[in-house]
Amino acid sequence: MGLSLAYWVVLLLFGMGLYCILTESNLIKIAVGINVMEAGLLLFLVRLSYSPGDLAPLMGPTTGPGIADPIPHALTLTAIVIAASTTALMLSLIIQIYRHYGTVDIEEIRSKMQ
């Protein structure tokens, strides 16, 4: 089973997010990196439950072949809520840090802390 395009996109997003977190020194970019990484994971979760042509489990039979698995979608929704709230908290912390140090660059903040 070769990897379909969707899985490559997942890998790319996850890798890009992680790379961004590890290498960037701008706090906002790190927050963006975390979001990109989480987006990759969520896409993975959605993709796992669906293969082309599947029906939505709404009417008639709700499980079985040819019907998409609804659980990952419910999980994704929960994970999106968590990701949104962590992002909000992270951004509010960054705003407070900016008020203290006048910059969002890690290196500059570190030098001002000394």
Partner 1 sequence: MSHLPILVIAIPLLFAFLIPLISMLFPSVRRITVTAMGLVYAGLVGMMIWGYHAMGVDRVIYPLGGWGPDVGIVLELDALSAAFAGIMGLGILLVILYSQDYMEAAESKYYVLLFIVASGIMGIILTADFFNLYVFIEMSAIASFPLVAVSRRGTALFASLYYMVFTLVSSALILLGIILVYAATGSLNMGEVAAVFDTIPELTRASIVGSFVIGLSVKVALIPFHSWLPPAHAEAVSPISALLSGVLLKNGVYMLMRLLPIFGFGDGSLDVRTLLLVIGVLTVIGGNVLAMGQGNVKRILACSSVAHMGYIALGIGIGGALGFAGALFHSLNHMLMKAGAFFSVGCIADGSFELSGLRGAALRTRPAGITFAMSTAGLIGLPPFGSFASKIMIMFAAIDAGMIGIAAVLPAGAVLSAIYYGRVYQVLYAPSEREPDDVSISPWQTTIVLVVTAVGSIATLVWAGNLARIFATIADYLVG
The answer to whether residues 14 and 95 touch, using CB atoms and an 8 Å cutoff, is no
What is the smallest separation between the CB atom of 103 and partner 1, expressed in angstroms? Answer: 11
The answer to whether residues 17 and 34 touch, using CB atoms and an 8 Å cutoff, is yes
Q: Which pair of tokens denotes residue 107? A: 């290196």
Q: Is 109 in the site for partner 1 (CB under 8 A)?
A: yes
User: What is the spatial distance between Cα 14 and Cα 36, in angstroms, rounded to a whole number?
Assistant: 7
What is the smallest separation between the CB atom of 53 and partner 1, expressed in angstroms? Answer: 19
User: What is the spatial distance between Cα 40 and Cα 9, in angstroms, rounded to a whole number?
Assistant: 8
Among positions 6, 7, 94, 105, the unique one binding partner 1 when judged by CB under 8 A: 94
Task: Name which of residues 40 to 79 contact partner 1 (CB under 8 A).
Answer: 41, 44-45, 48, 71-72, 75, 78-79
Among positions 6, 9, 32, 97, the unique one binding partner 1 when judged by CB under 8 A: 97
